Each structure stands twice: as C-alpha cells, then as structure tokens.
Amino acid sequence: MATFQPVRGTHDLVGDTARRHAHVIETARRLAHLYGMEDVDTPVFEFTPVFARTLGDASDVVRKEMYTFADRGGEEITLRPEFTAGIARAFISGGMRQNLPLKFFAAGPVFRYERPQKGRQRQFHQIDAEILGVEGPQADIEVIALGHDILAALGVGANCRLELNSLGDAESHAAYREALIAYFSGHKDKLSADSVERLERNPLRILDSKDEGDRALLPDAPRIEDSLNDHSRDFFQAVKDGLDALGIAYQLNPRLVRGLDYYTHTAFEFITEDLGAQGTVLGGGRYDGLIELLGGPATPGVGWAAGIERLAMLLAAVPERPRPVALVPLGPAADAEALRLAHQLRAAGVTVEHGYRGNLGRRLKRADKLGARAAVILGEDELARGVATLRDLDGGEQREVPLGDLVATLAPPDGAVG
RNA sequence: GCGGGUGUAGCUCAGUCGGUUAGAGCGCCAGAUUGUGGCUCUGGAGGUCGCCGGUUCAAUUCCGGUCACUCGCCCCA
C-alpha cells in the first residue's frame, strides 16, 4: 500500500463533521444533566464474556460483529460493541449497589464488524443513558422523555417518530416466544431461509422481517398482548400513561423487537425516514435481568443508546463557531504586544485569532475567512501613541482605541460567550 | 456474509464511441491595491484518471481482480 487509507468503516472527524459531532454530544450531555444523570466513562475494551454473556449467543452482534482478540498476555478481549454491558460491569465491580438508584450518561466510540454503508460504520459513536435500580415505570418514562428532549433540542424531533412496544417480563417473554415457535413451526415451508434460521435463534425477529412471504404470515401470528401477564400489562399501561401525560407522541408497534437478548418490558425506538435503511436513531428499553446475568445483584435497569453520526447527519445546519477577534500586529514590537493582548482578551472571554504571518492585507484576508467580527491592527505608529486601530469587519468602519480600553470594548457582556 | 451502483485536481463534477499537451466551477497561491479583508479582473500552482493485472501498435476509456464509498438484504445506533 503506497499511501494509507483509513481502515474500512472508520472515519476522521474534521471541520464541519467534528463540529456537528461535538454539538450532538454537548446538547445531549446538557439535557442528561438536567435529568440528574452523571457522566461515566468505561473502558473501550472488556473481557469478552462481558459482552458475549449479556448480549446473547443468538445475537448477530456476538456471532459475527465483535472485534475480539487475545492480547499479548493471552486475555480474551473485545472492543465494546455497545455501552450497557460495560456500564453494568462497572456497576458490579465498583460495588455501587449502595447508591441506587443511579443515572448515567456516556458518550464515545463503539465497534462492530459490519458491512459499512451510510449511517453504518465499523467504528462509530454513541451517546448512552441508563437508569439503574428503579423497578417502576417512572424510569422508563423519564429515559424516553430524555431521548425525546434531546432530539427536540437538536432540531430533529419533527422528523422522528417514537415506536413503542412491551416484551413483557421474563415469564411473558418466554410464553410469547413459545407461542411464536409453535405458530411459525406450522408454516415453516412458507418462511424465508433467514426466518427459518431465526425460528431457532430468535423467533421474535421474524416479526421484523421484510420478506413478503414472512409478512403474509404475520396477521395470524400470536400477538404479544395476549402473552403479557397482568403485571406486564399494568407496567406497559403505566409507561403509556406517563408518556401521554408528558405529551410525548408514540406509535405502538407490536412487531418492534430488539436484537439484544437482555431486553424486557419496554422497548422503543426513535425512527427517521431520512437516513435510508439505517432509520433507527435512538433505541433502547428495559433490561431487568442483565446485571444478574453478569453475576451481580439482581438490579433493574432501563436505558438507550443513540448513534451520534446518524444524529449529526440529521442536523439541519452546521453549528457555528464563535466569531473571533483577529489580532493584526505589524512588526516585532507589535508582535510582543499582540501576545500580551491576546492573553488578556481570552481571560476576559473573547475568542482571539492570531494571523501569525503575512502583511496587513494577508492577515485581514485570513481574518475574514475565519469569520472574525473585528480586527485589532497594531502598527508601529499606533503603538508609539498607545492605541490600536479597531476595525469592524462587517461594516468596515474603523477607529482608534487606547490599548488599555480594548478589553472593555471587546469583552462580551457578563456571562455571554464571545 | 449476499446482490446492485460508483471511483477523473483539495471539493463538486464534465470528458475520452481506445489515439498526441485530460477540462470546468468552487477552493488555494500571486498580482492589480508598498499599512486595509469581502466584490471584481488577470495570472499561476495542483492529476501516477483508486490500485494490480489482462487484451491491444496504443488503455483514464474495454475486460478481470482488488480496495474504498454507496443503495438494498441482513443487523443495528
């Protein structure tokens, strides 16, 4: 290979892309904090069983999408394909059960060996929210409300619909699974090859199939509602009531199932039509058995993850950078003064750009390209008189300002960001 | 993992029914304007036509493979 390309399915985040990315994270984090969530950052790799055991042997993620390797010490390591399992592991190893309930927010890269396409990469980034230790449906409602608020704050909420379903508790879930197996086994000859395989591994997924033949069987298939026991039904009703009370619109989708094994009760996805086949922008649900599955104390949980790249693509506009003030020193004495001045201005909250090189025209041109709001021109004669020329780059008018007054003139009003 | 499409300048793309120096717009650099940006004008730099191989007197153009992107399946964020 003569020149290096990025590894397949990985991307550099630069310029506008980086700014969109950062904006998604900052917005989400700000709102998560309003919900009382705390930031967590768990390692990007874990011992393989942390994921293999929790996600389920039947899931595609475990079967063919994990980046798994033996490290130099011979440990079986996996790059995280999602956040929840790592956070659950941190909860157990950190002995955090004393502090329940816990609310966490995380953001960072995750890794899945998939065939890349738009909105699907091998290294991508997620934001993630989890509530641990709350048995009741309030946590489900709040976590969904947070997702809803983040999409709204990003300006993409109008293009997303919320789909909602309940998989029921473990008992209901198992009963439904049996009912589906019984039904589809009777129609095995009409199922697609994919679905025959799903019948073995994860029959719920057949409900999600896009194959025409499979879909024809669905109207008569057992319905999840019929398998929910009283507790599960009440729980689901409480979640729906809560969303109604908050004015969050949703659409019931009895065929909404999630690919990872650990989900119980509530399952939801915010879906957009604007990203082609990769329509799910934020998805999650309740996972009451997960922590126990990892060997921890039985602890309920609800949460979701959202794809930062997908959200970033949906942003209508590229977030703007703050408009800087450009310093334009001319000559060595002015260079020294400019350094000092830049320091003072930044301390006062002003975004400052140095041109670093070139004559006046060149530096102004660069200032213009950076979108500077003003230029401070420091020439030899100005310095000698203790002033600077302050040029407004929008209008073009300029005036002389004593050096000592520059900070006061350019600093934003209290609290504002300039 | 399966099926289709695409790959020409930093970016967006045209073009070559196989034939001499491969083009445009935007961007970049310089000049018109020796301390005044944007607008305009003039000039300039920048390409192994994704990579490897085959066919041919001749391949950026045709064929095969490969890599990457992309659309769908699968799966998921």
Q: What is the pLDDT of residue A58?
A: 67
The CA distance from A63 to A78, in Å, is: 13
Contact A300, A134 (CB under 8 A): yes
The CA distance from A345 to A67, in Å, is: 47
What is the distance, to the nearest Å, from the Cα of residue A343 to the centroid of all Cα atoms in its chain?
35
CATH fold label, A15-169+229-314: BirA Bifunctional Protein; domain 2 (3.30.930)
For chain B, which bases have at least one atom within 7 A of a protein Cβ?
Answer: 1-2, 28, 30, 33-38, 48, 51, 67-77
CATH fold label, A325-410: Rossmann fold (3.40.50)
Positions of chain A with pLDDT lower than 50, given as ranges? 1-2, 415-418
How many other C-beta atoms lie within 10 A of the C-beta of residue A264? 24
Closest C-alpha to A163, from A250, A263, A259: A250
Structure tokens at A379: 């020439």
Contact A98, A69 (CB under 8 A): no
CA of A137 to C1' of B5 (A): 47
Q: What is the pLDDT of residue A385?
A: 93
Please write the tens of the pLDDT for every residue from A256-286: 877 666 788 999 999 988 887 778 999 999 9
Structure tokens at A413: 């009003």
3-class secondary-structure state, position A174: helix
Contact A400, A382 (CB under 8 A): yes
Which helix (H) or strand (E) element contains residue A183? helix A170-185
Contact A255, A271 (CB under 8 A): no
Q: What is the pLDDT of residue A24?
A: 95
What is the distance, to the nearest Å, from the Cα of residue A230 to the centroid of all Cα atoms in its chain?
35
CA of A8 to C1' of B46 (A): 28
Nucleotide nearest to A271 (CA to C1'): B77
Nucleotide B77: nearest residue by CA–C1'? A307
Q: What is the pLDDT of residue A338?
A: 92
Contact A281, A308 (CB under 8 A): no
CA of A338 to C1' of B65 (A): 59
Nucleotide nearest to A397 (CA to C1'): B36
Nucleotide nearest to A1 (CA to C1'): B51
The CA distance from A299 to A289, in Å, is: 7
How many other C-beta atoms lie within 10 A of the C-beta of residue A14? 9
Which helix (H) or strand (E) element contains residue A19? helix A15-34
Residue spans per domain, chain A: 15-169+229-314, 325-410
CA of A118 to C1' of B17 (A): 35
Contacts of A24 (CB under 8 A, 6+ apart): A127, A154, A308, A311, A312, A315
DSSP characters for A234-297? HHHHHHHHHHHHHT---EE-TT---SSTT-EEEEEEEEESTTTT--EEEEEEE-TTHHHHTTS-
Q: Looking at the predicted complex, does its ipTM rise above 0.90?
A: no
Q: What is the pLDDT of residue A418?
A: 45
CA of A2 to C1' of B19 (A): 30
